[in-house]
């Protein structure tokens, strides 16, 4: 995990939606990241989740409506002091009533007054009955807040506590955390970047049940995508057949299976992209003739399969690359690392290549860590750490060199 995600200052505003019962999980997750969490609650929220529970999990007192302008605690001016202290403000869940108060600039509640004083990023997670969410008044209020710079994260579709099914569920905690991380990212230098990433393996089927593939998990490619999204990039991912780790929120993901499918998907989006990261472990060969039924072993001592080359995606992208595009590749090698990587960079027209020895400890397929040699035409840099840390370092390097 990137170091800047830890030990941050979060102001969490909980309002009176039934989804408030999920908030203790969010507080626990933030505390595991050593974050300091101050919590404000509306009167309605107090009836849905215990302030004592949230206080116990956060290790701090919870600020209630009765503390606002009170003789005992009002002198602490929590709606000013806490917003000055916070690095990001999260409103979750946000009811229709709270959204209305915020859009109108009301300051009659502790939560509303705190939002009026906010000078840091504000993330708002509406959660309510689907008809309430779709009502023109609610849509107008959320639109007003978005125009003022508040980040509105739409609720998810699903079964609602009221018995309805539709768009109104509070997003999963992992998604909320991703939005918090993006708001806290120390760098926002990829706002103009349209990034296309390939990740994961491909599968080349021999018959309906057998295929040729490799152990790629897609972790490195998804780390490149995720850290670019934190920095403001618009990201599309073409992902091979893999169980994607973590949350894919914010990424436009297209699933493919074979190398030919990935080839077609990349060429479809190539004109859109300003930067392409080829991190997928694409199979070089496929069966010349794929059997239409399962090939049985009975009566066969040996089985010969004729293979033909798959299209070379990186080489084709290199041939089509515009002057305003940046092309980044990966070289997963087991020997002659630098020699093979530089040859691949030249052969495929890459601007940068990340070379790693997949036979080294902590650097192979499926690991959470990596060590890469970042090679350009005239320089070499080594990055080591978690795949997320390595990916973030690569984007920082590209930004410093003006390559993106």
Provide mean pLDDT across the span 221-246.
94
pLDDT exceeds cutoff 80 at 170: yes
User: Rounded to an integer, what distance in angstroms lies between the CA atom of residue 32 and that of residue 394?
Assistant: 27
Which residue in 218, 268, 238 sits closest to 387, CA to CA?
218
| Tokens representing residue 168 in the block | 């109104």
User: Rounded to an integer, what distance in angstroms lies between the CA atom of residue 51 and that of residue 46?
Assistant: 6
Place of tokens 């998990």: 217
Annotation: CATH topology of 3-184: Rossmann fold (3.40.50)
User: Rounded to an integer, what distance in angstroms lies between the CA atom of residue 257 and that of residue 377?
Assistant: 33
H/E segment holding residue 202 = none
pLDDT at 244: 78
- Average pLDDT over the chain reads 95
CATH class held by domain 194-400: alpha beta
Provide mean pLDDT across the span 166-187.
97
Q: 230 with 197: CB under 8 angstroms?
A: no
pLDDT at 1: 86
In this predicted model, what pLDDT tens digit does every residue of 79-94 receive, in sequence order? 999 999 999 999 999 9
pLDDT band for position 245 (cuts 50, 70, 90): low
CATH 3.40.50.10300 spans which residues of the chain?
A: 194-400
CA triple 49-51-56, angle to 5 deg? 110
Helix segments in 110-211, DSSP class H: 110-116, 130-134, 136-147, 173-184
Burial class of residue 120 (count of CB atoms within 10 Å of its CB; 0-12, 13-18, 19+): middle
Q: Give backbone dihedrals phi and psi of 316, rounded to 5 degrees, phi first.
A: -65, -40
| Tokens representing residue 106 in the block | 């009301």
H/E segment holding residue 31 = helix 23-32
pLDDT at 246: 73
Helix segments in 299-363, DSSP class H: 313-320, 337-347
pLDDT band for position 285 (cuts 50, 70, 90): very high
Q: Which of 46-55, 212-221, 243-252 has the lowest mean pLDDT?
A: 243-252
Place of tokens 């018959």: 207
In this predicted model, what pLDDT tens digit does every residue of 52-78 receive, in sequence order? 999 999 999 999 999 998 777 778 899
| Tokens representing residue 365 in the block | 């397929």
Write down the catalytic residue from 13, 35, 94, 162. 162
Q: What is the pTM of this model?
A: 0.94
In this predicted model, what pLDDT tens digit does every residue of 15-24 receive, in sequence order? 999 999 999 9
Q: Which of 75-79, 258-262, 274-278, 365-369 has the lowest mean pLDDT?
A: 75-79
CATH 3.40.50.1950 spans which residues of the chain?
A: 3-184
Provide mean pLDDT across the span 146-151.
98
Which residue in 228, 265, 220 sits closest to 246, CA to CA?
220
User: Rounded to an integer, what distance in angstroms lies between the CA atom of residue 60 and that of residue 27?
Assistant: 11
Strands 122-126, 326-333: pairing is unpaired
In this predicted model, what pLDDT tens digit does every residue of 327-354 receive, in sequence order? 999 999 999 999 999 999 999 999 999 9
pLDDT at 233: 98
Which residue in 205, 203, 219, 190 sits closest to 330, CA to CA?
219
Provide the 10 A C-beta neighbour count for residue 106.
14
User: Rounded to an integer, what distance in angstroms lies between the CA atom of residue 351 and that of residue 404?
Assistant: 11
Q: Is 162 a catalytic residue?
A: yes
């Amino acid at each position: 995990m990137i170091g800047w995600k830890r030990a941050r200052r979060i102001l969490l505003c909980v309002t009176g939606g039934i989804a408030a019962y999920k908030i203790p999980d969010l507080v626990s997750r933030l505390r595991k990241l050593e974050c300091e969490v101050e919590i404000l609650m509306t009167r309605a929220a107090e009836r849905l989740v215990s302030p004592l529970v949230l206080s116990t999990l956060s290790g701090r007192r919870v600020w209630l409506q009765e503390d606002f302008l009170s003789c005992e605690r009002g002198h602490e001016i929590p709606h000013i002091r806490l917003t000055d202290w916070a690095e990001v403000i999260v409103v979750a869940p946000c009811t229709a009533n709270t959204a209305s108060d915020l859009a109108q600039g009301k300051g009659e509640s502790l939560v509303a007054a705190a939002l009026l004083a906010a000078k840091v990023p504000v993330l708002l997670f509406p959660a309510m009955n689907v008809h309430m969410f779709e009502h023109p008044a609610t849509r107008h209020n959320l639109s007003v807040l978005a125009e003022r710079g508040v980040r509105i994260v739409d609720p998810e579709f699903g079964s609602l506590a009221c018995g309805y099914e539709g768009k109104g569920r509070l997003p999963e905690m992992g998604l909320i955390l991703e939005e918090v991380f993006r708001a806290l990212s120390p760098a926002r230098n990829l706002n103009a970047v349209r990034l296309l990433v390939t990740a994961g393996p491909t599968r080349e089927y021999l018959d309906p049940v057998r295929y040729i593939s490799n152990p790629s998990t897609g972790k490195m490619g998804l780390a490149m995508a995720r850290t670019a999204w934190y920095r403001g990039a618009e990201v599309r991912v073409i992902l091979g057949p893999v169980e994607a780790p973590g949350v894919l929120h914010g990424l436009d993901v297209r699933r493919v299976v074979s190398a030919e499918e990935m080839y077609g998907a990349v060429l479809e989006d190539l004109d859109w992209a300003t930067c392409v990261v080829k991190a997928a472990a694409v199979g070089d060969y496929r069966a010349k003739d794929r059997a239409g039924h399962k090939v049985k072993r009975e009566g066969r001592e040996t089985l010969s399969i004729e293979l033909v080359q798959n299209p070379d995606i990186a080489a084709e992208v290199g041939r089509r690359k515009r002057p305003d595009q940046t092309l980044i590749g990966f070289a997963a090698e087991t020997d002659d690392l630098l020699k093979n990587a530089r040859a691949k960079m030249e052969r495929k027209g890459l601007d940068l290549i990340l070379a790693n020895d997949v036979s080294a400890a902590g650097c192979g397929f499926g690991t959470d860590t990596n060590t890469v040699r970042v090679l350009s035409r005239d320089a070499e840099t080594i990055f080591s750490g978690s795949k997320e840390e390595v990916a973030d370092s690569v984007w920082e390097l590209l930004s410093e060199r003006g390559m993106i």
